[in-house]
Amino acid sequence: MSVSAKLEGRCLCGSVRFSAKPMNDEMGACHCSMCRRWTGGVFLSVECGDSLEVTNGDDLTFYRSSEWGERGFCKSCGSTLMWRMQDGSHSVVSIQAFDDPSQFRFTTEIFIDKKPDNYAFANDTSKMTEAEFLAAYASTEDADNG
């Protein structure tokens, strides 16, 4: 996949359509309890920065799940679509919302210490605990704001 490619995506019923330019071809899994409850499994996503553009979003709604983030889904069919910073500065999009989710390489798992013991992925991935992820995120924010 070309990193410069803008990809199209949609929800199950087609009421919400969007385009986004993934930052790379790497997908990650989040094992935090919020993502597991939200998706009924793990949230498999690709980072899209601030490139997310909703072209048909009448049925797109957001749930504010933390002080800084919100989760987007279709209010008609319930499809899990994206997580984004409330200010819109960064988004991650569900790989399953894109037409061809197989184009992404599975490279990262976050909140690995929150993963239940009843499943595991066979892929060799980089794994970060909640504390490691939040520390890395905080240092990125400090660098961006400094």
Q: Tell me how far apart the alpha carbons of residues 113 and 32 are, in angstroms, rounded to a whole number.
A: 9
Q: Specify if 46 maps to a domain.
A: yes
The Cβ of residue 140 has, within 10 Å, a number of other Cβ atoms equal to 11
Q: Specify if 105 maps to a domain.
A: yes
Question: Tell me: the pLDDT tens digits for 22-43?
Answer: 999 999 999 999 999 999 999 9
When divided into structural domains, the chain yields a total of: 1
Q: Reduce the DSSP state of residue 115 to 3 states and report it.
A: coil
Q: Specify if 1 maps to a domain.
A: no
Is residue 106 within 8 Å of 125, Cβ to Cβ? yes
Q: Specify if 72 maps to a domain.
A: yes
Q: What is the DSSP letter of 29?
A: E
pTM: 0.88
Q: Specify if 2 maps to a domain.
A: no
Mean pLDDT of 101-118: 96
Among 48, 57, 103, smallest CA distance to 76 is for 57
pLDDT at site 3: 56
Q: Reduce the DSSP state of residue 33 to 3 states and report it.
A: helix
Q: Specify if 69 maps to a domain.
A: yes
Range of the domain at 22: 7-113+122-145
Q: 37: domain CATH number?
A: 2.170.150.70
pLDDT at site 142: 47
